[in-house]
């Protein structure tokens, strides 16, 4: 069928490629210009997806990919979660874990106490509660978010 349109899965694969550029951890020197260019491209794709029909709109995977792409910039990752909520996608335990990983690498918070304070701020901002709802996985209680749309 030649009328096939790309799905959110197709767009997510492209997002992942752009968000992964220069973040492979190989022996090459990190190139911030290349990384910034790649994230700008990924951001443009996400914006385009937000204006498409429902089957192509960003989902949890789209936003988690972007959060991971921000790598060590918690402020950009927080902004992405805010957009996620504004676009009707509920943050979940994977969102929280992705934010933790970004915060862990953010050099603006060099001390553990600063990172802990920032995480508490994020919990309050997004109304995160470490409620288990009777569920538990290998990583401990499953967090939930009170902020729903």
Which tens digits make up the pLDDT trace of 60-102?
999 999 999 998 889 999 999 999 999 999 888 888 888 888 8
The pLDDT of residue 24: 52
Whole-number Å distance between alpha carbons of 4 and 17: 22
* Structure-token pair, residue 110: 């060099």
Q: What is the pTM of this model?
A: 0.76
pLDDT (0 to 100) of residue 134:
35
Q: How far is Cα 87 from Cα 94, in angstroms, rounded to an integer?
A: 18
First to last CA, the chain: 36
For residue 26, the surrounding DSSP H or E stretch is: none
Q: What is the pLDDT of residue 57?
A: 93
DSSP 89: P
pLDDT of residue 27: 60
Q: In terms of pLDDT, which residue wins out, 72 or 48?
A: 48
Cβ-count burial of 81 within 10 angstroms (0-12 exposed, 13-18 middle, 19+ buried)?
Answer: buried
Tokens of 93: 């335990």
> Cα angle vertex 99, ends 79, 97, to 5°?
145
Residue in 42, 115, 112, 102 with CA at minimum distance from that of residue 70: 102
């Amino acid at each position: 069928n030649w009328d096939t349109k790309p799905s959110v899965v197709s767009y997510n694969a492209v997002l992942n490629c752009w968000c992964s550029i220069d973040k492979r951890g190989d022996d090459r020197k990190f190139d911030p210009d290349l990384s910034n260019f790649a994230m700008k491209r990924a951001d443009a794709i996400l914006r385009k997806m937000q204006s498409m029909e429902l089957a192509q709109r960003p989902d949890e995977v789209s936003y988690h990919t972007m959060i991971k792409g921000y790598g060590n910039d918690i402020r950009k990752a927080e902004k992405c979660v805010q957009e996620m909520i504004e676009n009707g996608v509920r943050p979940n335990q994977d969102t929280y874990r992705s934010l933790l990983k970004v915060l862990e690498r953010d050099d603006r918070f060099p001390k553990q106490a600063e990172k802990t304070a920032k995480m508490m701020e994020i919990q309050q901002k997004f109304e995160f509660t470490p409620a288990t709802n009777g569920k538990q996985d290998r990583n401990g209680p499953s967090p939930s978010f009170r902020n729903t749309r």
